[in-house]
Chain A
């Protein structure tokens, strides 16, 4: 063993000692705790994901992902401030430290994960890109779209997937690239383009913004994988862990049947899995640098993953998106969280 490697091992061991002792946290973790609230980057307004309601409160699945982190860290899901960002601003805002985490239906890709100095902490929505067309065009499949004018939002993976799909199928198209989703839907509405392409969840969300939502149809083809999830800066693993496990706590709660309504009852029960999740029996919240009640606070205040989904984008929302891929692994979907143990 070379001297260099030995000193590395020694340093790691020392670091390990310190971590197990006090859960010494990284820069972001400490800074957020000290300022007393979480600064979270969201969209400028996408129903179901992050949009302010008529009272000015932010709601949506991405918003709730932020709230879960606040609930775990502060025991209060309201201690979040939101920064609306467009697609182009989001990574710079996170890199520069303007926000502590980004939860803005952002697709997890190789380039973004490796070259931007960022880490994706999980997937809160499995999405795929689709097409929306006006009903009166009579188009049934995306394969019939050759020659179409297509409205699209700038700076997204959507732009690249679209180009790939049309190239692979040897079709032509004209891309009209707008800066925000509002402009994109306006362009579609005015007939500047025949087709609007985006992640399917967004298509449903944008469709309800049309004056007559029924005049537009979403085509069946899904042309890409779009795992959307929260993003943090590299270099603070404690913070990364907290964001990741806040999401996993919600998934585990759904799997165990714990909801915001029955949580107090469930906590009194005997299931050791539930007891570990909610009360820290056998596992301690201090591993994450937070209170033992961290998962309890998340589920009590924000709800489990299923509740969050149904409330924001599912059947009890105007979007009415079915669970599909986002169902739990045990129910035919691919949402799967490692156990709390």
Chain B
């Protein structure tokens, strides 16, 4: 009885080659190494072949001067800027059209989705017609339609449609006055930021008071007053340091002001309208997924129709809506690369197009471009996943 029995009770330690944990680890490491080796081989092979064919490689070209002009740029850009800068300009243009597209698509999509469920026969049929038309016509055709058939048929610069004496619309784009910020305008901006922070605290305070005492507070009106009033007050006190640069016709074109180019207009419109049709269906299915019992329960509690929608239906519908909505946002961002069809200077047109052709470094440029779209898409996914987690049903 002196210690031998413990050996018999403990499970025999298996041999190293038989240990499932060790084996799993070894095979996983092997698999990863194979994948790495495969990519190393591919990259090495590509580089070797390109060198043998006398094709220059590397990312040195990003510092060379580009020498060509770009139609629309959100950052200062000229022909002497580097190819690295053309990349930035293209990227920002892609992000601009994606953000605008996502914004308008969501707006139109939610509206049409709700209208699709309207009890008014005409309204709900109109929404259906919208959805069926726009989601069933290829996006490229829609882009081409809005650009070549609509934007091009606006009048020429000399016969521009004028709205007041400040906004002009013609086939070269929409010309609007540009704000020119004078000295001291930053004070107004600071006031706005302060007001925004104030609103956050106000909302928190109002909620706490509501939970403690049951008294409601008109947060919406108070917030609006704060957000508009405070900056306006500061703006007037600092002597209104802002004037407008109004566009006027000089020579061939309008000069001054801000120009919204027809390419941006057509692309944003096509992307929003097309994606909105899909979002509308997502919204409809999301709302229909909330069981009717919830609505009945809400009206039994005496909630008004609007409050039922806001407090009961939408929060539950969002859980169903958000995941497919994410896919639509991703699609919209990737579809924005169709810009090349109408000459909108997005990343694909400027960088994977002109820059690629001027430098001839296809492998590097396509790799960068793919990496960018991957990053954009993953960022949108991450954000939407976070939002989804926030909206998810909390089980207590």
A149 touches B172 (CB 8 A): yes
A177 touches B53 (CB 8 A): no
CA distance A179 to B144 in the complex (A): 13
Which residue in chain A gives the minimum CB-CB distance to B339?
A: A179
Indicate which residue in A147, A154, A173, A190 contacts B354 across the interface (CB closer than 8 Å): A154
Q: Is B45 an interface residue (CB 8 A)?
A: no
Residues of B within 8 A of A154 (CB): 343, 349, 353-354, 357
Q: Is B56 an interface residue, CB under 8 A from the partner? A: yes
Check B251 for interface membership: any CB of A closer than 8 A.
yes
In this complex, which of A162, A186, A190 has the most chain B Cβ atoms within 10 angstroms of its Cβ? A190
Contact A190:B148 (CB < 8 A) given known A88-B357, A176-B343, A179-B340: yes
User: Could you give, for residues 355-394 of chain B, a 1 whenever the CB lies within 8 Å of some chain A CB and a 0 otherwise?
Assistant: 0111110100000000000000000000000000000000
Contact partner, B360, options A111, A149, A160, A164, Cβ 8 Å: A111
Q: A95-B55, A147-B253, A154-B357 are in contact. List 10 more A-B contacts (CB 8 A).
A: A111-B360, A115-B54, A115-B56, A116-B54, A116-B55, A137-B252, A147-B251, A154-B349, A177-B354, A179-B340
Quick check: A177 and B71 within 8 Å, CB to CB? yes
Chain A residues within 8 Å of B359, by CB: 111, 115
Task: List the 5 shortest-distance A-B pairs measured between CB atoms, nearest first.
Answer: A155-B357, A190-B152, A117-B53, A175-B69, A117-B55
Complex contact B251–A112 (CB within 8 A): no
Interface residues on A, range: 35 or more
Is B50 an interface position by the 8 A CB rule? yes
User: Which of chain A's residues have a CB closer than 8 A to the CB of B358?
Assistant: 111, 155, 159-160
Given known pairs A111-B360, A155-B357, A159-B68, the reply for A179 and B148 (CB within 8 Å) is: no
A205-246 contact mask (Cβ, 8 Å, vs B): 1 or 0: 000000000000000000000000000011100000000000
A282 nearest CB across to chain B (Å): 36
A87-B69 contact in complex given A149-B252, A149-B253, C-beta closer than 8 Å: no
Instruction: Find out whether the CB atom of B53 lies under 8 angstroms from the CB atom of A155.
Output: no
Alpha-carbon separation in the docked complex, A117 to B50 (Å): 8
Taking the complex as formed, is B126 at the interface, i.e. its CB lies under 8 A from any CB of chain A?
no
Which residue among A176, A178, A233 has the maximum number of chain B CB atoms within 10 Å of its CB? A176
A88–B70 Cα distance when bound, in Å, is: 17
Chain A residues with Cβ below 8 Å from B340 are: 179
Asked if B286 is at the interface (CB within 8 A of a chain A CB), the reply is no
10 A-B contact pairs sorted by A residue (CB < 8 Å): A88-B356, A91-B357, A115-B56, A147-B253, A147-B255, A148-B252, A159-B68, A178-B342, A179-B343, A191-B171
Is A176 touching B152 in the complex (CB atoms < 8 A)? no
Q: Does A146 contact B (CB under 8 A)?
A: yes
Q: Report the minimal beta-carbon distance from B356 to chain A, rounded to whole angstroms.
A: 7
Report whether A187 and B343 are in contact in the complex, using a CB–CB cutoff of 8 Å: yes
B53, B56, B343, B360: the one contacting A183 at CB < 8 Å is B343
Provide the bound-state CA to CA distance between A332 and B44, in Å: 52
B28 within 8 A of A: no
Interface residue ranges of B325-366 to A (CB < 8 Å): 340-343, 345, 349, 353-354, 356-360, 362
- B341 contact set on A, CB distance < 8 A: 179, 183
Chain B residues at the A interface, C-beta cutoff of 8 Å: 50, 52-56, 67-71, 79, 148, 152-153, 156, 171-172, 250-253, 255, 262-263, 340-343, 345, 349, 353-354, 356-360, 362
In the assembled complex, the CB of B61 is this many whole angstroms from the nearest CB of chain A, namely 9
B93 to chain A, nearest CB (A): 12
Residues of A within 8 A of B55 (CB): 95, 115-117
**B159 smallest CB distance to A (angstroms):** 10
**A167: CB under 8 A from chain B?**
yes
Report the separation of the CA atoms of residues A256 and B358 in the bound assembly, to the nearest whole angstrom: 40
Give Cα distance in the complex from A187 to B341, angstroms: 12
A186: which B residues are within 8 A, CB to CB?
148, 152
B54 touches A176 (CB 8 A): no
Residue in chain B with minimal CB distance to A160: B67
Measured between beta carbons, the chain A residues less than 8 angstroms from B356 are 88, 155
Question: Beyond A115-B55, A117-B53, A146-B251, is A163–B69 a contact (Cβ under 8 Å)?
Answer: yes
A64→B50 CA distance, assembly (Å): 31
Q: A159-B68, A192-B152 are in contact. Are A179 and B360 (CB under 8 A)?
A: no
Q: Would you call A163 and B67 a contact (CB within 8 A)?
A: yes
A90, closest chain B residue (CB):
B357
CB of B71 within 8 A of CB of A176, answer yes
Q: Would A178 and B343 be within 8 Å (CB), given that A88-B356, A154-B349, A192-B152 are in contact?
A: yes
Q: Does A12 contact B (CB under 8 A)?
A: no
Are B360 and A112 interface neighbours, CB within 8 A? yes
**A117 touching B54 in the complex, CB below 8 Å, given contacts A148-B253, A175-B69, A179-B341:** yes
CA distance A164 to B153 in the complex (A): 32
Known: A147-B252, A154-B354. A177 touches B362 (CB 8 A): no
Q: Which residues from B are CB-within-8-Å of A164?
A: 67, 79
Check A163/B68 contact, CB under 8 A, given A115-B56, A147-B255.
Answer: yes
Q: How far is the CB of B143 from chain A (nearest CB, A)?
A: 12
Known contacts A111-B360, A116-B55, A177-B343: does B353 contact A88 (CB below 8 Å)?
Answer: yes
A194 in contact (CB, < 8 A): yes
Q: Closest Cβ of chain B: how far from A236's Cβ, in Å? A: 11
Contacts of A317 in B (CB 8 A): none
CB–CB B345/A177 < 8 A: yes
How far, in angstroms, from A235 to B79 measured CA to CA in the complex? 35
With both chains docked as a complex, state the minimum distance between the C-beta of B262 and any C-beta of chain A, in angstroms.
7
| Complex Cα gap A186–B171 (Å) | 13
Inter-subunit contact B354/A175 (CB<8 Å): no
Docked CA distance A40–B393 (Å): 62
As a 0/1 sequence over residues 265 to 290 of chain A, the CB contacts with chain B under 8 angstroms (1 = contact) are 00000000000000000000000000
**Given the complex, which residues of A lie within 8 Å of B353, measured CB to CB?**
88, 154-155, 179
Q: Are B252 and A190 in contact (CB under 8 A)?
A: no
A20 to chain B, nearest CB (A): 26
| Nearest chain A residue, comparing its CB with the CB of B261 | A176
Which residues in B have their C-beta under 8 angstroms from that of A167?
Answer: 79
* Chain A residues with CB below 8 A from B250, complex form: 147
The residue of chain A having its C-beta at the shortest distance from the C-beta of B157 within the complex is: A191
A149-B252, A192-B172, A192-B262 known; A160 vs B68 contact (CB < 8 Å): yes
